Amino acid sequence: MKKKLRILLAWILVALVFQLGGYSLLNNQLQKVMGPSGVDREPPITPQLKATIPGSDLTNIQVSYAKDYLAYSENATLKIFNLKKGNVVFEKKSPSSTDKTLGGLTYQWLPDRNILLYFYAKKNPNEVTTVKVYPPKLKMSPTVEPQAEDPIHPKIVPKEVPVEPRLEKRYGSPQITELYSLELPNSDEDTKPEDSLNTFDPPSGGEKISEGGKIEQFIVATSTNLMYLTVKKGSTQLLMKIDVMKEVSTLNKPGELIDNMATSDRYGTLYFDSIVGTNHQVIALEGTNRRIISDNFDDRILGISKGKVYIGQVENNQLVNIKTTTDLIKLTNNPSLKTEWEGSIPFNDDVRWLIGAKGQIVIYDHKTANIITAGKLAEVKLQGDENYVSVDGAELIQLTKQGSSTLVELHPLKP
């Protein structure tokens, strides 16, 4: 009896070990899927890669998260190139060969997976619609009704007379902007990309974006799945948000211009440079609540990485100071700012910048990359005709024109 009991207890123990191991594995997988995307993860790095792309007029170059796909525009066509296999795996042409406001407008790789979000504009087939407009009240017409008790003096009473509705033309946006998500397979596979249309709710959301004008900036907060974009028409600019239900809303104040934007990789908070008249502030937006991060006229938002908000001080087209504050779930006005670096780096309209996965600040143009790591500045000379840096700051994408084609070289960006 004791022997059977021991065997039974042993089997129960073995079952518990397997069960706990299964729960642990399941929990790890769920954390990968449901946890905040891109938070404190080390992105993949491609040590060395070369490919030749047919075409020499490539614009808006963006490398994917895994650094094996390149998105670019060529002759108003959005294209995705597989850098490992050396071929174009997706392209989407503009519906018009003359109207430059149509077709692929802007796009953005997600920072933690090989998915490209892009906006695509087409002609609105129902730009002009005709609707029936009914008057608020029926027309009243006097009517004579004889009276039996007084036939000489008939009674005059008002009577409602139906009125025909009038036809009225309604004018909508001349175009409709659509949002797509393009999911790329592993670059070693031959599976076709999955191109999915994301419908707005209500459907007029696409017209609302189109009415705003040209999309200038587009960023994604992967921790909250919120999308932010600035749309400019003439001297008017709109800051728009697209939430998880694909509802479009406007966030900026009347007359406010948005210069730069960045989102928290942990909480989805939107940080941006706000310009109203002669006032310039760095603002954090939590839902509908605004917090002033800096009211120094020369301060600019640079980016957010691993719990730090980076702010640069720019004077006379020179970056002279970099300050940080903690990226908190609840922010207050005018938080304390810690100086991380002081010096002088050219900071004009030709430069781009980013905060890398390891906290390095990269400011670069097509000839030089300035990299600030732990308060120390290093300068790297770039060799290509055009040069780009991956969003994690780890990879240099070097483009060199070769006749009617373009040589693309990827290698680590090191000081």
Res 124: pLDDT: 82
Beta strand spans in 115-213 (E): 115-123, 128-133, 139-145, 155-161, 166-171, 175-183, 194-198
CA 307 to mean position of chain CA atoms: 20
DSSP string covering 190-231: -PPPEEEEE--SSTTHHHHHHHH-EEEEEEEETTTTEEEEEE
Res 335: pLDDT: 96
Q: Is 240 helix (H, G, I), strand (E, B) or coil?
A: strand
Are the C-beta atoms of residues 200 and 247 closer than 8 Å to each other?
yes
Res 108: pLDDT: 93
Are the C-beta atoms of residues 248 and 198 closer than 8 Å to each other?
no
H or E element that contains 26: helix 2-34
pLDDT, tens digit (0-9, with 9 covering 90-100), for 91-127: 999 888 788 778 888 999 998 889 999 999 888 877 7
Distance CA 74, CA 99 (A): 15
Are the C-beta atoms of residues 303 and 343 closer than 8 Å to each other?
no
Bridge partners of residue 261, in order along the sequence: 272
* pTM of the model as a whole: 0.79
- Find all residues with CB under 8 Å of 375, minimum gap 6, and list them: 340, 341
Structure tokens, 202: 């209500």
pLDDT, tens digit (0-9, with 9 covering 90-100), for 42-60: 555 666 889 999 998 999 9
Distance CA 310, CA 299 (A): 10
Q: Which residues of the chain have pLDDT under 70?
A: 1-47, 128-130, 136-162, 170-171
Which residue's structure tokens are 């040209």?
A: 214
Distance CA 398, CA 384 (A): 5
pLDDT, tens digit (0-9, with 9 covering 90-100), for 140-157: 566 656 666 666 666 666
Res 348: pLDDT: 93
Are the C-beta atoms of residues 203 and 193 closer than 8 Å to each other?
no
